[in-house]
Amino acid sequence: MVKATAKTHVKAFQPDYAVHPGEVLGEWLIEQGMTQNELAIRIGMSSKALNQMIKGHVPVTPETSLRLENTTGIPARIWNSFQVKYDETVARLNRDASFRKDAELLKQVPMNALRKRGYVVSARTDTSESVREVCSFFGVADAKALNTLWHGPIATRQKCESLQVGNIALATWLRIGEISSRGIEAPAFSRSQLRKSIPDICSLITKSDISKVMDSATEICSKAGVVLLEILEVDKSHAASALQWVGKRPVIQVSLRQKSVDQLMRNLLHQIGHILFQGRRQEFVAVKQGAKPELFSVEKRVEEFVNQQMTAIQKSS
């Protein structure tokens, strides 16, 4: 059985201050006992412009770094790297300040689940880093982008019979499945192979051990290029199973919230039905108001397929 495992992260040291290359240049002048006026003459720059650069008001441009290379003996790439590092640090500090203003986000997402599974490892008091880790988990730059994603692509991809669109716990559960599937090797998806595997999958209902059923079903699905995962339920996600396409592969994830082989089989066949009859769509199964009529038609066809398979299983048992 393929299960999602907790992630481990090692946070690299990030300074909470930025050093402008002009400050480095100012220290070099002191060490050399050289005045700003003399250096300005040597590099062909006005004293005023050089002073602005040393104070950190203007950047060290690639052209200036080449002039400094000849004058100071310090390679231009070093001066350029100082400037890049400075710009990056300033941008990060500004971003972190913005993250601190987005603390409300942490009340919306299931933080306990993300911490327990290792996707958020920062201290609970570190608001900025916690928001950053949540955004990183969902693969977005900031809280604004995440909010747009929740009310756009994620909202149109969610389904459960009694589920409200926009369920953030469900979005979290689905994202864990997406992330977990990316490290799993499987052959290219084959629709014909999946059809052929249905009798083998149905035969698993005779087993009483749900873990062994999952193991066998995972192996059978893998041969057809379908990834089957058990993703522990996220509180309030209310999801038993889901289908999503990650790249060119269909990924079925189940929570086993209903620890029954019969229910597992029904959920698995339901998602297989969507792969066979719906094909590659952005929606798992449309249930939101205003959904396309043809998707309801597909849902009806899938239910008929599941019922046919379950009836055949009962007759053969």
Q: List, run by run, the mean pLDDT of 10-residue segments along the chain (317 residues).
A: 54 79 97 97 97 97 97 98 97 95 94 96 96 96 88 51 60 94 92 95 90 95 96 88 91 86 92 86 43 62 88 78
Q: What is the pLDDT of residue 217?
A: 96
Find all residues with CB under 8 Å of 123, minimum gap 6, and list them. 129
- Residue 287 confidence (pLDDT): 35
pTM of the predicted protein model? 0.80
Q: Report the side by side order of strands in the sheet with 241-246.
A: 227-230, 249-254, 241-246
Crossing angle of helices 47-54/21-32, nearest 10°?
Answer: 110
3-state secondary structure of 2: coil
Query: Which tens digit of pLDDT belongs to each residue from 128-166?
Result: 999 999 999 999 999 999 988 877 655 445 444 434 445
pLDDT of residue 150: 77
Q: Which residues 6+ apart lie within 8 Å of 274 measured at CB?
A: 243, 284, 285, 298, 302
Query: So what's the pLDDT on residue 161?
Result: 40
Using alpha carbons, list the distances in angstroms from residue 233 to 85, 124, 241, 313: 42, 23, 10, 28
How many Cα atoms within 13 Å fall on the side-chain side of residue 92?
Answer: 14
Taking the C-alpha atoms of residue 96 and residue 129, their distance in angstroms, rounded to an integer, is: 7
How confident is the model over 240-273, as pLDDT tens digits? Answer: 899 999 989 999 999 987 788 999 999 999 999 9
Rounded-to-integer distance, Cα 225 and Cα 220, Å: 9
- Taking alpha carbons only, the member of 238, 241, 282, 248 closest to residue 264 is 241
8, 118 in Cβ contact below 8 A? yes
Q: Are 252 and 229 in contact, with CB atoms under 8 Å apart?
A: yes
Contacts of 50 (CB under 8 A, 6+ apart): 36, 39, 40, 43
Going along the chain from its start, the domains and CATH numbers come out as 21-100 (1.10.260.40), 105-150 (no CATH), 168-316 (no CATH)
- For residue 190, the model assigns a pLDDT of 95
**CA 69 to CA 219: how far, in whole Å?**
61
pLDDT given at position 315: 77
